[in-house]
Amino acid sequence: MYKCTSSNLIFLSFMQKPLGLLSLLDEESTFPNGTDSSFANKLKQHLNSNPCFRGEREKAFTVSHFAGEVTYDTTGFLEKNRDLLHLDSIQLLSSCLCHLPRIFASNMLNQSEKPVVGPLHKAGGADSQKLSVATKFKGQLFQLMQRLESTTPHFIRCIKPNNLQSPGSYEQGLVLQQLRCCGVLEVVRISRSGFPTRMSHQKFARRYGFLLLENVASQDPLSVSVAILHQFNILPEMYQVGYTKLFFRTGQIGALEDTRNRTLHGILRVQSCFRGHQARHHFKELQRGIATLQSFVRGEKTRKEYAVLLQRHRAAITIQKQIKGRNGRKTFKEISDASVVIQSVIRGWLVRRCSGNTGLLKYGASKGNESDEVMVKASFLAELQRRVLRAEAALREKEEENDILHQRLQQYESRWSEYELKMKSMEEVWQKQMRSLQSSLSIAKKSLAVDDSERNSDASVNNASDDREYSWDTGTNHKGPESNGLRPTSAGLSVISRLAEEFEQRSQVFGDDAKFLVEVKSGQVEANLNPDRELRRLKQMFETWKKDYAARLRETKVILNKLGNEEGALDRVKKKWWGRRNSTRYT
């Protein structure tokens, strides 16, 4: 590394010192009689002692660059170095009427006469002259170096695989020469021999501290960094610890980055799973809440609609009653009016017929006029007779309709009486069954209560005597065998109490349903259901429950009998044990 740096310094001094290549080129360019040959001789005279320079025959010379040796020919050097922009072109641009060309001319004039101040030149009168191409090149290189030092550049090296520019062809020597000339091999060698990766303690601890198994939040960054290096078994020769930074060889940070990326990926997976679980749980809660809210809203809406429909139904029934009543009254009034008219016409006709002869005797003189009146009366009488016939026909139709309605009413009344008889008979049967079940339950309760009281009294007496007495055979205290006899009795009572509660609840439910059906059948309550079908379904449900309940009663009875047998056996054991104790005591 030091050798490479020294070679660079030697080459830079060869290029830019007061008697360097560029200085000699500018000096020779200022001479009017300077030629390319004189420039080559001057280079050989002043630079033969420099290791980077080697003179060749005639006008050629060789320069040892970092990438390798390059041979140059001085032909045209002075002419190209004097390639200045002619003043006539600048004056032409300055004389233009447009503002933009004048700006270009002023900028070019300033650049051509601007003195160069830097490490390559000294301020003085000689710098006020016009700049040559070499001087401009040195100034541009100096500006480029300043810009590179103020930034962090990244370079991309383009390697040409072959000189034929054909695809699929790869010349190893050419590629290796390009890599060596571009400095890529040197950079790789320096990177492998040195510590190319550098990172501060704070940044390293902040970036990889979460990979530690223990919590080291209270420690300083250096301790955290050392703990990370020890945990991942990084060899001491692969890193160096400085005062403020850590230095790593090539490839060490890559392993830490892979572990860090895998850990972060796992953390993201865990977070995504947990957040997904939370989101699904929240979604399910919202879904359940929405369903509950929708059920409440739909129920309220349905109840309101049902109330409106019920009100409309009742209003329609009321309107129908009013309309039917009005039509009936109107029909009755028409019939009564027609009857009165018919009766008046018939009575008038009868009166006139009876008094017709008297009128003829009294007014015999005016026969012609009377004949006209008789003709008028006959036509009027015929009209009245037709009306009477129509009224009688209408009356007969109404009477027939009335008879039909009476027959239907009698049929409905007979059916209603039959339904009432059926309902009463079913209620009587149901009441009888309920009374029989209640009586059997009450008898079972009483018998169990009596047995329970007797066992409790016996158990209390035996427990009191056993606490005071000891066994003559072993000298230890023995409880009587009936000490655990209360548990089966309490279990039997709990079963019977549950059966009684179920019986009361079911009897109340069936009674309420039967009363509701009776009210619907009688018209006291309006409901959209068939009372006969519901009554049959209720009867079927009652029969099913009665069979199930009777089966459970039989099972309970069997269980109680078993408990009674067990208690009898316990009593027998108790008596034997008590007799044995008394016999041992008396002996």
Overall average pLDDT of the 515-531 stretch:
72
* d(C-alpha 109, C-alpha 84), whole Å: 11
Name the band, by pLDDT with cuts 50, 70 and 90, for residue 449: low
**Largest CA-CA distance found in the chain, in angstroms, rounded:** 193
Overall average pLDDT of the 325-349 stretch:
89
* d(C-alpha 233, C-alpha 212), whole Å: 13
Which residue, of 354, 380, 395, is where some domain finishes?
Answer: 354
Overall average pLDDT of the 280-300 stretch:
95
CATH number at residue 68: 1.20.58.530
Residues 491 and 581 in one domain: yes
Q: Which H or E element spans position 403?
A: helix 367-468
Name the band, by pLDDT with cuts 50, 70 and 90, for residue 130: low
**Residue 420 pLDDT > 70:** yes
Residues 317 and 448 in one domain: no
**Residue 366 pLDDT > 70:** no
Overall average pLDDT of the 77-88 stretch:
75
Which residue would you say has higher pLDDT here, 341 or 484? 341
Is 415 a domain residue? no
The one-letter code for the residue type at 480 is G
Question: What is the number of structural domains in the chain?
Answer: 3
* d(C-alpha 524, C-alpha 517), whole Å: 10
Which residue would you say has higher pLDDT here, 284 or 122? 284
Secondary structure of 565-584 as H, E, C letters: HHHHHHHHHHHHHHHHHHHH
Is 466 a domain residue? yes
- pLDDT of 264 reads 93
From 65-69, 378-382, 480-484, the region with the lowest mean pLDDT: 480-484
Which residue would you say has higher pLDDT here, 516 or 366? 516
* d(C-alpha 255, C-alpha 22), whole Å: 50
CB 118 within 8 A of CB 137: no
- pLDDT of 444 reads 67
Q: Taking the CB of residue 463, how many other CB atoms lie within 10 A of it?
A: 13
- pLDDT of 455 reads 58
Tokens of 19: 């008697």
Residues 427 and 319 in one domain: no
Buried b (16+ CB within 10 A) or exposed e, 491-501: ebbebbeebbe
Residues 424 and 341 in one domain: no
Which residue would you say has higher pLDDT here, 535 or 147? 147
Residues 316 and 449 in one domain: no
**Residue 322 pLDDT > 90:** yes
Overall average pLDDT of the 445-456 stretch:
64
Is 219 a domain residue? no
Overall average pLDDT of the 475-479 stretch:
40
Is 191 a domain residue? no
Q: Which residues constitute the domain of residue 29?
A: 2-83+114-149
Which residue, of 336, 354, 372, is where some domain finishes?
Answer: 354
The one-letter code for the residue type at 303 is R
- pLDDT of 276 reads 95
- Average pLDDT value for the chain: 76
Q: What is the pLDDT of residues 395-407, one digit of tens each?
A: 888 888 888 888 8
CB 488 within 8 A of CB 567: yes
Is 473 a domain residue? yes
Residues 335 and 461 in one domain: no
Residues 31 and 129 in one domain: yes
Residues 563 and 449 in one domain: yes
Residues 47 and 123 in one domain: yes
**Residue 29 pLDDT > 80:** yes
Alpha helix locations (H) across 240-366? Answer: 252-354, 356-362
Name the band, by pLDDT with cuts 50, 70 and 90, for residue 463: very low
CB 48 within 8 A of CB 65: no
- pLDDT of 435 reads 77
Is 19 a domain residue? yes
Torsion of CA 175, 177, 182, 186, to 10 degrees: 110
* d(C-alpha 541, C-alpha 195), whole Å: 93
> What's the distance, Cα to Cα, between the start and end of the chain in Å?
121
- pLDDT of 472 reads 34
- pLDDT of 489 reads 54
- pLDDT of 85 reads 59
Overall average pLDDT of the 83-88 stretch:
66
- pLDDT of 118 reads 44
- pLDDT of 269 reads 95
* d(C-alpha 360, C-alpha 350), whole Å: 16
Q: Taking the CB of residue 249, how many other CB atoms lie within 10 A of it?
A: 19
Which residue, of 313, 335, 354, is where some domain finishes?
Answer: 354
Q: What is the pLDDT of residues 215-236, one digit of tens each?
A: 766 788 888 888 888 888 888 8
Is 90 a domain residue? no
Q: What is the DSSP-derived secondary structure letter of residue 115?
A: P
**Residue 569 pLDDT > 70:** no
Which residue would you say has higher pLDDT here, 308 or 194? 308
**Residue 249 pLDDT > 70:** yes
Is 159 a domain residue? no
Residues 337 and 462 in one domain: no
Residues 469 and 549 in one domain: yes
Residues 318 and 441 in one domain: no
pTM of the model: 0.33
**Residue 295 pLDDT > 80:** yes
Give the closest residue to 112 by CA, choosing from 91, 86, 92: 86
CB 313 within 8 A of CB 526: yes
* d(C-alpha 257, C-alpha 249), whole Å: 14
